[in-house]
Amino acid sequence: MEQASLGTGGDGHWLDDPAHRQFLVRDALQALRFFDASAGDRGFVTLDVAGQPLPGDLLELHTTTRLVHSYALGQLAGRPDRAGIVDRGMDLLWRGHRDGRHGGYHWAIRGGEVADGTKLAYGHVFVMLAASTARLAGHPDADRLLADIADVLDARFWDAGAGLFRDELTGDWQPFSTYRGMNANMHGVEALLAAHEATGEAEYLDRAGRILDFFIAGQAARNGWRIPEHYDDAWRPDQGYEGNPMFRPAGTTPGHSFEMARLLLQYWDLAGRRGSDAPRQARLLVETALADAWDKRGGLAYTLDFDGRVARADRYWWPVTEAIGALAALIKLDPQPGDEERYRRMWRFADARLIDHVHGGWFPEPGADDRSASGQFQGKPDIYHALQADLFPLVSALSHLGRALADTKPLAS
């Protein structure tokens, strides 16, 4: 497969460079072609690096929802959903993951049966994201799903006093831990902003603002512009906590700083661009994470201690994609010296070490020798992060990504 040019040289921004934009479109289309195979004969499947189904048929809620969201974005951008992933995923969410007895959505299903009935805020906010993007794409079942998940999140997970989402309950809604986390709330912001963009309802925007204020103006500002990941039930940082090595690692996670910075700018844009704190805070989050986590071999360290020292040096694909999105947002808004070179550096590393130019999609991590490694992940876990890294730079707006993609149709052939 012929490799497209990352972009031309010169002093201009790659966001405006036709060669770079062509590269982004090509990468997005190759990824969508690769992940078409996720719609297997027996339902959604996880793919190996060559695009073949991996053994086992466990399907977790975030996998289903991210596929729906990603392919709905692809539809909005002008690429038909040839594998029917949005239709199949919306049906699977309603008839498979949804708990018809107790309400809410099961974390994992296998062969049509419940494999893990735990109710996690992390998975539920992705249901809202999928429903919102499907609504923008005109799916007929989106309103039903969005109304249901909005009610569940409000009744079961939203802590109105704190203005934050609680994390985890049993299948019949009994609390079984006092854990509270940033990750579910960060993706809660993503989902709430998408729901606001899809419906115009102010409550979604207001709740997103409360979450952002707690974690950025509150926690990040008090912790050197690094965001503590884990909290107790009084919303106090728990620096000693360590859970699932992928979803709840110890310390701080610079990749999440990039995500939160981009989401903060999206919120600020939607809320009328009031004040200058959001752009300043977003830049502090991005610059701190880049200074702490950039690896001299290229890529970004996965986790840090609370003073910014590298804790886990593993270099995964998704922090690079989120750095790309955050840097693109800063360049769109108010480019500063160094932003362009950092943006180009991320893409050069991704192009050389992460993007699969043979099959499409991104490898999840380079090993110590900078070849594709298989450690935390098997195969290619998802399209979600990398596709958004391609699509964010293709539109000029900070918010209303779906609408901007629908207006410009960058992926249309």
Task: Catalytic residue, from 20, 139, 256, 400: name it.
Answer: 256
d(CA 135, CA 358): 34
Structure tokens, 244 = 């699932």
Six token digits for residue 193? 């902003």
Q: Look up 256 and say whether it is catalytic.
A: yes
SS3 content of the chain, % helix, strand, coil (to 5): 50, 10, 40
Distance, CA of 79 to CA of 33 (rounded, Å): 10
The alpha carbons of the chain give a radius of gyration, in whole angstroms, of 20
Pairing of strands 113-116, 164-165: unpaired
2 strand-pairing partners: none
The one catalytic residue in 106, 187, 385, 400 is 385
Distances (CA, A) of 116 to 45, 96, 99, 120: 17, 12, 11, 11
For the question of residue 124 being annotated catalytic, the response is: no
Distance (Å, whole) CA 232 – CA 103 = 26
Reference 84, options 38, 126, 132, 47; nearest CA is: 38
Catalytic residue positions, numbered: 256, 385
